[in-house]
């Protein structure tokens, strides 16, 4: 029986598991991650307001793994050997006949003073820290922003910051405290959210103006301090800083000979293969894929890439040519805690629908629908 190893328990990894089984693969499946759990990162935006708790978003994968006949190894990947046929881990080597790397990306924490900022999408602990800090504040300035990877601008996850921003505004208004706070949005980009499309950028900036959110755009970031954000265009005070830096590859990639993109991600082809490493695939934030410069780093895109990777690996193990590719598709609802703007983009069209309550409830319904498959 063939042995397949999957690194990670995020969107791409779990979708790869499902797709492999759906493709009729009867291989011995091993998933490697520190814990047998899945954290639904899109729901982190609702933690500061109390719409979600950390445990609402943490899914124990024991039953899912049992249904899918998966062996979970609680470990961290540390390297590769034998041309990819051996995954080195913190608990020892794991041999495979096929490998899918879906271990996500890593935020670049090199900006001076970045320790003074909270990175919201680092996980549940970060979202809870935001909740607790805001609850303890009687007023002041909350600054929120994001930046990209200077060597690979597409390696970024800026979308959630708009949701934290608008969600914070909604939260403070519902609490009757908004007049005591100043919200500032900052980013080096002159037109933030450009990957969503021109119409979306205009809509986001209009929404910021409507909500009386100040902006500091188009200036390269220089540093953070406990009470200040400094850019090449000047500095401004901030009592709480939320910042999403650009992304790069996992640290363990450095201990391998896997080909890297300029931004440090794993290089991939249109079939999600890692060039030069037979039957080694990558999906999600860990990879750099061919496509338009607006290709998103989001769970939906990771799912599409993981399906292609799993289909191709299954084909190879059955002696067939791997031909599956993935469509490039951005699909999201920019949520505000009680409404949302729907954005869709492919290489053929770009749709932006204005904010309405229906989209907020659709986002919550999707969360329920998506998570039930892992419970």
Segment 201-257, tens digit of pLDDT: 999 999 999 999 999 999 999 999 999 999 999 999 999 999 999 999 999 999 999
According to DSSP, the β-strands at 330-335 and 140-146 are unpaired
Report whether 5 contacts 81 (CB < 8 A).
no
Is residue 367 domain-resident?
Answer: no
Is residue 129 domain-shared with residue 236, that is, in the same domain? yes
Is residue 197 domain-resident?
Answer: yes
Structural domain total, the chain? 2
Is residue 161 domain-shared with residue 273, that is, in the same domain? no
Task: Mark which of 281, 297, 317 sits at the end of a domain.
Answer: 317
Is residue 307 domain-shared with residue 282, that is, in the same domain? yes
Is residue 19 domain-resident?
Answer: yes
- What pLDDT does residue 195 have? 87
Buried b vs exposed e over 260-278: b needs ≥16 C-beta within 10 Å?
bbebbbbbbeebbbbeebe
Tokens of 44: 């982190």
Please give the share of the chain, as a percent, with pLDDT higher than 70.
100
Is residue 371 domain-resident?
Answer: no
Is residue 84 domain-resident?
Answer: yes
86 closest CA partner among 257, 248, 251: 257
Is residue 375 domain-resident?
Answer: no
Mean pLDDT, rounded, for 140-162? 91
Is residue 113 domain-shared with residue 242, that is, in the same domain? yes
Is residue 179 domain-shared with residue 232, that is, in the same domain? yes
In degrees and rounded to multiples of 5, residue 18 shows phi and psi of -65, -40
312 closest CA partner among 341, 272, 276: 272
Is residue 21 domain-shared with residue 53, that is, in the same domain? yes
Report whether 334 contacts 162 (CB < 8 A).
yes
Beta-carbon contacts of 318 under 8 Å, excluding residues fewer than 6 positions away, are: none
Tokens of 155: 């390696």
Structural domain for 194, as ranges: 109-246
Is residue 137 domain-shared with residue 242, that is, in the same domain? yes
pTM above 0.85, yes or no: yes
- Tell me: the pLDDT tens digits for 156-200? 888 899 999 999 999 999 999 999 999 999 999 999 988 899 889
Is residue 218 domain-shared with residue 126, that is, in the same domain? yes
- What pLDDT does residue 153 have? 79
We report the CATH number of the domain holding residue 27 as: 3.50.50.60
Is residue 158 domain-shared with residue 238, that is, in the same domain? yes
Is residue 73 domain-shared with residue 98, that is, in the same domain? yes
According to DSSP, the β-strands at 228-231 and 221-225 are antiparallel
């Amino acid at each position: 029986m063939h042995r397949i190893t999957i690194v990670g328990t995020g969107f791409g990894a779990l979708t790869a598991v499902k797709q492999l089984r759906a493709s009729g693969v009867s291989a011995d499946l091993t998933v490697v991650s520190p814990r047998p759990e899945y954290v639904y990162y899109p729901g982190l935006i609702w933690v500061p307001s109390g719409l979600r708790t950390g445990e609402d978003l943490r899914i124990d994968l024991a039953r899912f793994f049992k249904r899918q006949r998966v062996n979970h190894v609680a470990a961290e990947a540390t390297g590769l050997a034998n041309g990819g046929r051996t995954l080195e881990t913190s608990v020892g080597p794991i041999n495979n006949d096929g490998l899918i790397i879906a271990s996500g990306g890593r935020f670049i924490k090199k900006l001076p003073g970045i320790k003074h900022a909270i990175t919201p999408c680092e996980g549940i602990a970060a979202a809870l820290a935001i909740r607790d800090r805001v609850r303890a504040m009687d007023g002041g300035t909350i600054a929120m922003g994001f930046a990209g990877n200077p060597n690979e601008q597409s390696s970024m996850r800026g979308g959630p910051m708009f949701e934290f921003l608008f969600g914070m505004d909604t939260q403070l208004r519902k609490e009757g405290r908004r007049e005591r706070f100043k919200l500032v949005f900052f980013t080096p980009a002159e037109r933030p959210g450009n990957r969503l499309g021109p119409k979306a950028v205009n809509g986001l900036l209009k929404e910021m103006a409507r909500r009386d959110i100040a902006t500091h755009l188009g200036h390269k970031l220089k540093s953070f301090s406990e009470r200040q954000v400094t850019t090449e265009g000047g500095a401004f005070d901030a009592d709480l800083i939320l910042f999403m830096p650009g992304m790069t590859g996992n640290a363990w990639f450095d201990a391998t000979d896997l080909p890297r993109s300029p931004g440090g991600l794993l290089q991939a082809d249109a079939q999600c293969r890692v060039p030069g490493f037979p039957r080694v695939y990558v999906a999600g934030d860990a990879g750099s894929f061919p496509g338009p410069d607006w290709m998103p780093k989001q769970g939906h895109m990771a799912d599409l890439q993981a399906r292609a990777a799993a289909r191709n690996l299954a084909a190879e193990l059955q002696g067939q040519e791997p031909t599956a590719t993935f469509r490039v598709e951005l699909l999201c609802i920019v949520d505000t805690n009680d409404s949302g703007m729907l954005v869709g983009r492919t290489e053929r069209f770009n749709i932006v629908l204005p904010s309405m309550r229906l989209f907020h409830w659709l986002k919550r319904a999707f969360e329920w629908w998506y998570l039930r498959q892992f419970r």
